[in-house]
Structure 1
Amino acid sequence: MSLSVNKLFSQNNSTTDWEEIIEQISSDEAEEEKSVENYIEELSELNNQPFNINAVTKEQLEQFPFLSDIQIENILFYLYISGPMQTIYELQMIEGMDRQTIQYLLPFVYLGEYKENISTPSFKKMLKYGKHELITRSDIPLNKKSGYKSISDSVLQENPNKHYLGSPLYHSLRYGFHYKEQLYFGFTAEKDAGEPFFRKQNKKGYDYYSFYFLLKNMNYLKALVLGNYRLSFGLGLVMNTDYSMGKSSSIATISYKNNGIHKHSSTDEYNYFRGIAASYQLKCFVLTAFYSHRKLDATVENKLITSLKKDGIHRLIHDFERKENTVMQVLGGNITYKNNTFHLGLTGVYNFFNRLFIPDIKPYNIFYPRGKCFYTLGIDYKYRWNKLSFVGEAAICQSGRVAILNILRFTPFSGYQLVMLQRYYDKGYAAWFARSISEGSDIRNENGFYMGVEANPIKYWKLSAYADFFHFPWLRYGVDKPSSGFDGLVQATYTPKRNMTMFLRYQYKVKDQNYIGEKKITCPYVKHKLRYQLGYTLQKFFSLRTTVDFVIIHPENVSSSHGFMLSQMFSYSFQQLPLQLSVNYGFFDTDNYESRLTTYEKGMLYSLSLPSFYGKGIRTSLHVRYDFNKYLTALVKISQSKYMDRDEIGTGLEMIAGNKKSDMNMQIRYKF
């Protein structure tokens, strides 16, 4: 098969949007849209510039969340033993590669000749042959919220935080340049809804600006970044500002792989660094150093920081009072040694504020970090022996408290995997930018044991399940005593054809929370969640997706609440026009906010649209994409939620009078 045919096959074989795949395999507790923007953008860049499968490297394969360490090693071993692939269908001959995983991988690879000793291009050549991308996005609410309504000067003078300072329009502007996987630079500017634009408290236009310059894989220089960037090392116990799926229906996501320096091009206004970072490779060693100096939003009382504000929204007077009033500097490095079977890394981070951080003492936060300077040290390790893979990390902070995470993966034979995970996060452990596998929101105050299995017992079928037992030794926010819980999931996936996938997922979770009835008590909350989904594509131009969700939630000895949602998506790509239409229709009926349900909708580029619903109503959306040519693309989405059980939506300044909430999203991308 020729190169062009294989490349075309690989690029057009994907029947599902990558945003939807991430939603399908991600954890039950969906992360905010902005936390995944960078990751979706990177996957899109890889999709537009797929790898030559015959020259692919371990580092390149580690960028994909659906590939386990064993599968990556098996791909490289097959190429080493059998030589370059002659057809893309040889992926089916690699041990442990099932049909669904191959379907996920195909959009990112093509079949080409293996070439060695490719010379490093000059900077002038990279600028000449690189690709530019300019994206602008606007979100327009079609209802007027209370925060935008006119109020009298006397009321505003008495309570200046009773009215938003800016317009309800959301707008962002992004420019990016890249040459293959070697040179990136660009900027991002964003104005959130309600933020002033060139007026009042904001005279500089957009509320948020981000710039980055990244040089990668230039001989021994592995990476050099100036401006805004992200970092991740080991399993994230010391440093991880990247998107991390954690527990999911795919056990391949349980161990983090894509370490190192990455550009920050999203509109996330908290999880990034600003300054300089560099990595240098010397044989089997990689040395990384970084420094960051940036301003943060914080609540400051009596010259003490009592809390950090992480949402990046500045639309009220008291938001501007907390805007960029605190400086955090971060200094650190990482040394990593690795060969084909062994990996060892050492990470050190030193954080310091320009003033003392002393949060108000509450029963649940007495072990939180306090002071002006903080440091964390960690060692991460990986070893593979035949069908066993062992990965772990141990870290210690300045107070002497530790965090330990170990993962053992066993692949007895093709199509079967077993993962066991142990974690211990001391209640006093503190790492400001840690993000890893946990049930809680922070890497502290948690012990747990996880076991996951994945099997392909019958052709076209894939079964996956996990059980996670966790314990919180100290109080948490909203839980007034030490507590324990259990999280379990079972999923069966059926993929008889490349254009058809069906799965049934059941999740059971029990977790202590405070319940306020006649009196406040702490009791177990039990959740049963069931999802059935069918996806089908007809001749690559018509696809449909049917999703049924059902949830039951009940505190112990309290009546249960139920939720149900049926959603249907139709997508059509015209053959004679560069036009794609997607229609989503859903009906939801839940008893309360606790039994709310989340569904995936096609959204704008590089974003994950996961609206949540509670009450009784109907959700409709229309997504239109038109490619004028290979350079210019326009997208429009119109959506509406109509409720049957209320006359107003939302509360406070976000309240909408009436039972309908309508929005319009518009985006234009120009590539040159």
Structure 2
Amino acid sequence: MKPCLRILLLVLFFGFTGMARSQQHEDWREFMEQLAEEEMNETAIENMHEELLQLENNPMNLNMVSREQLENFPLLSIEEADAIFRFLERNRPLYTVFELRNVPLLNIKTVEMILPFFHVGEMGKRETRLQATDMLKYGRQEVQFRFDKTLTPRAGYGEFPDSILERYPNRKYRGEDFYTSLRYSFRYRDRIQMGFTAEKDAGEPFFQPDYPKGYDHYGAHLIIHDIGRLTTVALGDYRLSFGQGLVLNNDFMISKSWSSANIARRTLPPKRHFSTAENGFFRGAAAVAELGNFSVTGFYSDKRIDANLSDEGDITSFKVDGLHRTPLEIEKKKNTREQVAGGNINFRKDRLQLGISGIFHRYDKMYNPTLRDYNLYSLRDSSNLNASIDYSFQFPGLIFAGETAIARNGAVATLNTLRYRFSGNLSFSLLHRHYPISYNALYAQAFSEGGNVQNEQGLYVGAEFSPFSKFSVTAYADFVRFPWLKYGIDTPSNAVDLYLLGTYTLSRQSFLEARYKYKQKEKNTAWPDENSRSVLPYATHKFRFRYSLDLRSGWNFQTTADRAHYKEKHFPAENGFMLSQNIGYRGRGPLTGDAYLAWFNADTYDARLYSYERNPLNTFHMPSFYGKGYRLAFSAKYAVNGNLSFSVKFGHTRYFNRDTIGTGTELIDGNNRTDIFTYIRWVF
């Protein structure tokens, strides 16, 4: 038996022993895990992670929170936000956050997940004027510093003769082999937010003679709330979302599997962009004005972005990874000017909401992707215009919401949702979308399977129910048709996505969870013995079983078994298996920590498995693995006092069946990789 497997079995055995204590087991970080598993936009995941961390560090006062703040909270559905606000109106003042358990329509899972984002404070009147003396006295400042480094050498940091670099200049990174970021923020209650961000990725130059600016990326923001009729003013870097996202959304992501109650979206006010993501945000100004039942939003953005250019100087695609390590990557940095302007008029009365949105964007170059059959209908212009109407209506137990949008070429896209709650223990959701191949909206981000609001027709059916108090079930089925060709698929195709999650709460201290995911899609397949290819269906089955136990002393044990089964028609099946154990300590002292050990065996990338492990604050890292090996990670946080804390994480991965890891400049000549993450947070 492998030594690491012996260790894992011992950890599993001791993980099931001990006395239990009361502790919340639902964690919003599991939501981030599901987003990563669904392979959603990495920038949106990072933005979402940063926003939830900020909300957790600055919890809302239940005795002062407004309806708008609840509706803007991304983990609550429209119905849930309304139920909480009506409960607060009737029962304020509250004396403990646990009174949220008495809110009608909220299940235990939702309550335990949102508790860290609220606190109970004094009731009082909202300030109407900003006083400089109060801002200086009661404002909260925060400095965050992060430093990460891969200890295992990679090819891009090696030494090369000048003759080789003259011929192959992109074989070597221009910068140092570490990641670092610095962030400062100031917050005054719920009225003012301001801050700046500076970041350098590993491989990017840092204060070098030919790169004196220091960090590779800088950003700043200022958000002010409640200035007369202006409810929000945003300057600098910000994010926006209108309606269901058919014309504009660079904010919150929608996950199919998290909750069928949350598939409907709503127009949100501008939010600060404070993550280190270098794309997926606007840079300029935005404002929201309230005029009776009307809310009017206007914005303008003007910034430089990265793009891949053709020999003729046209934009063939946008470079969104934010990496500027080699001469080729540096050449693409901020080589295109992007201007975006638009607005939204929103009407709301009682349970009715109507909105009109419009967005116009222009580049200083022609957007002209390299012509292929699958992108025959893509936008080919330096500008575009989109407009839409969005709507929602709430009946008791029922919510209808949707959006219908039009592009400048006349193509119409629509998305409509219906949610009905039969009782407190049973709810049902339906979502239909129709995105024509000719609909072009480069800033749209809505519910989809293909990742784009284009070339997709689908019907989603979801349900949540609790047959009895300790058992809950979440399930959905999504049936999708792609009427035109896609990248890697030479014919129109179909997809089926199924999900089933059952959670059994053994006690307040422990729970069991079983999950099944099934996805069937199609792709081009090359025949080994013939110079031809066909479009064939493939299916992926994923199973997960998880047990979690909390102990009185502050220890938590979470055991997870994952299995993946991938099968393409006419080809052998591919399988993956992972067994992992997470041990966490959250005592009353200044030191907290986690240890994670996983053993994995996956035949190929298609049968890969994901590692869910704790990370330092403001760090989202969820690697996937295939091959044979193990993953070991340790993390710790030490709070010097209530204002200063240090965090560190050590991660090590070893493979038993390979001699190298990665490719190209990221190639590691060996079978193991070791990373270290450090983080310092100072609040004053």
TM range (shorter): over 0.9
Matched, 1:579 2:588: no
Match for 1:643: what amino acid?
Answer: Y
1:296 to partner: Cα distance: 1.1
Q: Secondary structure at the match of 2:321?
A: coil
Q: Secondary structure at the match of 2:451?
A: coil
Tell me how far apart the structure 2 counterparts of residues 540 and 462 of structure 1 sit (CA, whole Å). Answer: 28
Residue of 455, 464, 473 corresponding to 1:445: 455
Deviations 1:528-567 (A, max 9, x none): 0111112222226211111111010111121110010111
Work out whether residues 367 and 382 of structure 2, in 8 Å CA contact, stay in contact via their aligned partners in 1.
yes
Tell me how far apart the structure 2 counterparts of residues 197 and 512 of structure 1 sit (CA, whole Å). Answer: 44
Q: Secondary structure at the match of 1:361?
A: coil
Q: Which 5+ residue runs of structure 1 have no aligned equivalent?
A: 1-11
Tell me how far apart the structure 1 counterparts of residues 643 and 61 of structure 2 sit (CA, whole Å). Answer: 24
Matched, 1:430 2:446: no
Work out whether residues 70 and 85 of structure 2, in 8 Å CA contact, stay in contact via their aligned partners in 1.
no
Residue of 252, 273, 283 corresponding to 2:282: 273
Instruction: Look up the match of 1:347.
Output: 357
Work out whether residues 136 and 172 of structure 1, in 8 Å CA contact, stay in contact via their aligned partners in 2.
yes
Work out whether residues 598 and 612 of structure 1, in 8 Å CA contact, stay in contact via their aligned partners in 2.
yes
Work out whether residues 388 and 411 of structure 1, in 8 Å CA contact, stay in contact via their aligned partners in 2.
yes
Tell me how far apart the structure 2 counterparts of residues 148 and 89 of structure 1 sit (CA, whole Å). Answer: 53
Matched, 1:389 2:399: yes
**1:248-327 equivalent positions in 2, closer than 5 A:** 248-257=257-266, 259-300=268-309, 301-327=311-337
Matched, 1:184 2:193: yes
**Mean CA deviation greater in 291-300 or 54-63:** 54-63
Q: Structure 2 vs 1, CA of residues 637 and 83 (structure 1 numbering), >3 Å: closer, same or farther?
A: closer
* Number of aligned residues: 660
TM-score normalized with structure 2 length: 0.93
**1:66-85 equivalent positions in 2, closer than 5 A:** 66-81=75-90, 84-85=93-94
Matched, 1:227 2:236: yes
Work out whether residues 43 and 280 of structure 2, in 8 Å CA contact, stay in contact via their aligned partners in 1.
no
Residue of 160, 165, 172 corresponding to 2:169: 160
Instruction: Look up the match of 1:552.
Output: 565
Q: Secondary structure at the match of 2:468?
A: coil
Instruction: Look up the match of 2:606.
Output: 594
Work out whether residues 65 and 252 of structure 1, in 8 Å CA contact, stay in contact via their aligned partners in 2.
no
Q: Structure 2 vs 1, CA of residues 458 and 37 (structure 1 numbering), >3 Å: closer, same or farther?
A: same
Tell me how far apart the structure 2 counterparts of residues 94 and 302 of structure 1 sit (CA, whole Å). Answer: 61
Deviations 1:391-423 (A, max 9, x none): 101111111112100000001111211000000
Work out whether residues 13 and 106 of structure 1, in 8 Å CA contact, stay in contact via their aligned partners in 2.
no
Residue of 372, 377, 395 corresponding to 2:382: 372
Deviations 1:285-308 (A, max 9, x none): 111111111111112232322221
Match for 2:451: what amino acid?
Answer: S
Instruction: Look up the match of 2:676.
Output: 664
1:24 to partner: Cα distance: 5.1
Deviations 1:108-150 (A, max 9, x none): 2234555456544424422431111111111111111111110
Tell me how far apart the structure 2 counterparts of residues 608 and 451 of structure 1 sit (CA, whole Å). Answer: 30
1:49 to partner: Cα distance: 3.2
Match for 2:600: what amino acid?
Answer: F
Q: Structure 2 vs 1, CA of residues 534 and 258 (structure 1 numbering), >3 Å: closer, same or farther?
A: farther
Instruction: Look up the match of 2:16.
Output: none
Residue of 239, 259, 277 corresponding to 2:248: 239
Match for 2:625: what amino acid?
Answer: F
TM-score normalized with structure 1 length: 0.94
Work out whether residues 36 and 45 of structure 2, in 8 Å CA contact, stay in contact via their aligned partners in 1.
no
1:57 to partner: Cα distance: 2.5
Instruction: Look up the match of 2:179.
Output: 170
Tell me how far apart the structure 2 counterparts of residues 545 and 22 of structure 1 sit (CA, whole Å). Answer: 16
Work out whether residues 349 and 376 of structure 1, in 8 Å CA contact, stay in contact via their aligned partners in 2.
yes
Work out whether residues 128 and 226 of structure 2, in 8 Å CA contact, stay in contact via their aligned partners in 1.
no
Q: Structure 2 vs 1, CA of residues 590 and 332 (structure 1 numbering), >3 Å: closer, same or farther?
A: same
Residue of 398, 411, 414 corresponding to 1:404: 414
Matched, 1:633 2:642: no
Match for 2:384: what amino acid?
Answer: F
Q: Secondary structure at the match of 1:167?
A: coil
Work out whether residues 27 and 247 of structure 1, in 8 Å CA contact, stay in contact via their aligned partners in 2.
no
Work out whether residues 600 and 627 of structure 2, in 8 Å CA contact, stay in contact via their aligned partners in 1.
yes
Work out whether residues 33 and 610 of structure 1, in 8 Å CA contact, stay in contact via their aligned partners in 2.
no
Deviations 1:289-348 (A, max 9, x none): 111111111122323222211111011111122111110101111111113301111111
**Mean CA deviation greater in 294-303 or 393-402:** 294-303
Tell me how far apart the structure 1 counterparts of residues 115 and 362 of structure 2 sit (CA, whole Å). Answer: 45
Q: Structure 2 vs 1, CA of residues 123 and 218 (structure 1 numbering), >3 Å: closer, same or farther?
A: farther
**Mean CA deviation greater in 172-181 or 88-97:** 88-97
Work out whether residues 25 and 250 of structure 1, in 8 Å CA contact, stay in contact via their aligned partners in 2.
no
Tell me how far apart the structure 2 counterparts of residues 123 and 382 of structure 1 sit (CA, whole Å). Answer: 40
Tell me how far apart the structure 2 counterparts of residues 438 and 337 of structure 1 sit (CA, whole Å). Answer: 27
Tell me how far apart the structure 2 counterparts of residues 37 and 469 of structure 1 sit (CA, whole Å). Answer: 28
Task: Among all aligned residue pairs of Structure 1 and Structure 2, give the percentage whose two residues are the same amino acid.
Answer: 38
Tell me how far apart the structure 2 counterparts of residues 389 and 598 of structure 1 sit (CA, whole Å). Answer: 35
Q: Structure 2 vs 1, CA of residues 41 and 126 (structure 1 numbering), >3 Å: closer, same or farther?
A: farther
Matched, 1:618 2:630: yes
**Mean CA deviation greater in 641-650 or 47-56:** 47-56
Instruction: Look up the match of 1:543.
Output: 556
Tell me how far apart the structure 2 counterparts of residues 392 and 653 of structure 1 sit (CA, whole Å). Answer: 46
Q: Secondary structure at the match of 1:181?
A: coil
Tell me how far apart the structure 1 counterparts of residues 329 and 126 of structure 2 sit (CA, whole Å). Answer: 54
Instruction: Look up the match of 2:119.
Output: 110
**1:480-499 equivalent positions in 2, closer than 5 A:** 480-499=490-509
Q: Structure 2 vs 1, CA of residues 304 and 44 (structure 1 numbering), >3 Å: closer, same or farther?
A: closer
Tell me how far apart the structure 2 counterparts of residues 214 and 64 of structure 1 sit (CA, whole Å). Answer: 17
Deviations 1:192-242 (A, max 9, x none): 111111236633111111111111233422111111111111111111111
Instruction: Look up the match of 2:656.
Output: 644
Match for 2:570: what amino acid?
Answer: N
Q: Secondary structure at the match of 2:598?
A: strand
Q: Structure 2 vs 1, CA of residues 226 and 81 (structure 1 numbering), >3 Å: closer, same or farther?
A: closer
Q: Which 5+ residue runs of structure 2 have no aligned equivalent?
A: 1-20
Tell me how far apart the structure 1 counterparts of residues 46 and 524 of structure 2 sit (CA, whole Å). Answer: 33
Q: Secondary structure at the match of 2:450?
A: coil
1:432 to partner: Cα distance: 1.5
Q: Secondary structure at the match of 2:500?
A: strand
Work out whether residues 316 and 368 of structure 2, in 8 Å CA contact, stay in contact via their aligned partners in 1.
yes
Q: Structure 2 vs 1, CA of residues 190 and 82 (structure 1 numbering), >3 Å: closer, same or farther?
A: closer
Deviations 1:346-380 (A, max 9, x none): 11111011121111101111111111121110111
Work out whether residues 201 and 323 of structure 2, in 8 Å CA contact, stay in contact via their aligned partners in 1.
yes
Q: Secondary structure at the match of 1:649?
A: coil
Deviations 1:476-518 (A, max 9, x none): 1111110011001011012243332321110111011122232
Q: Structure 2 vs 1, CA of residues 123 and 375 (structure 1 numbering), >3 Å: closer, same or farther?
A: farther
Tell me how far apart the structure 2 counterparts of residues 40 and 483 of structure 1 sit (CA, whole Å). Answer: 33
Give the aligned CA root-mean-square deviation in angstroms.
2.0
Instruction: Look up the match of 2:13.
Output: none
Q: Structure 2 vs 1, CA of residues 536 and 556 (structure 1 numbering), >3 Å: closer, same or farther?
A: same
Tell me how far apart the structure 1 counterparts of residues 98 and 434 of structure 2 sit (CA, whole Å). Answer: 43
Tell me how far apart the structure 2 counterparts of residues 418 and 47 of structure 1 sit (CA, whole Å). Answer: 30
Instruction: Look up the match of 2:483.
Output: 473
Tell me how far apart the structure 1 counterparts of residues 679 and 25 of structure 2 sit (CA, whole Å). Answer: 21
Tell me how far apart the structure 1 counterparts of residues 317 and 209 of structure 2 sit (CA, whole Å). Answer: 26
Match for 1:611: what amino acid?
Answer: P
Work out whether residues 497 and 520 of structure 2, in 8 Å CA contact, stay in contact via their aligned partners in 1.
yes
Q: Structure 2 vs 1, CA of residues 214 and 111 (structure 1 numbering), >3 Å: closer, same or farther?
A: closer
Work out whether residues 136 and 668 of structure 1, in 8 Å CA contact, stay in contact via their aligned partners in 2.
yes
Tell me how far apart the structure 2 counterparts of residues 86 and 275 of structure 1 sit (CA, whole Å). Answer: 42
Tell me how far apart the structure 2 counterparts of residues 117 and 19 of structure 1 sit (CA, whole Å). Answer: 29
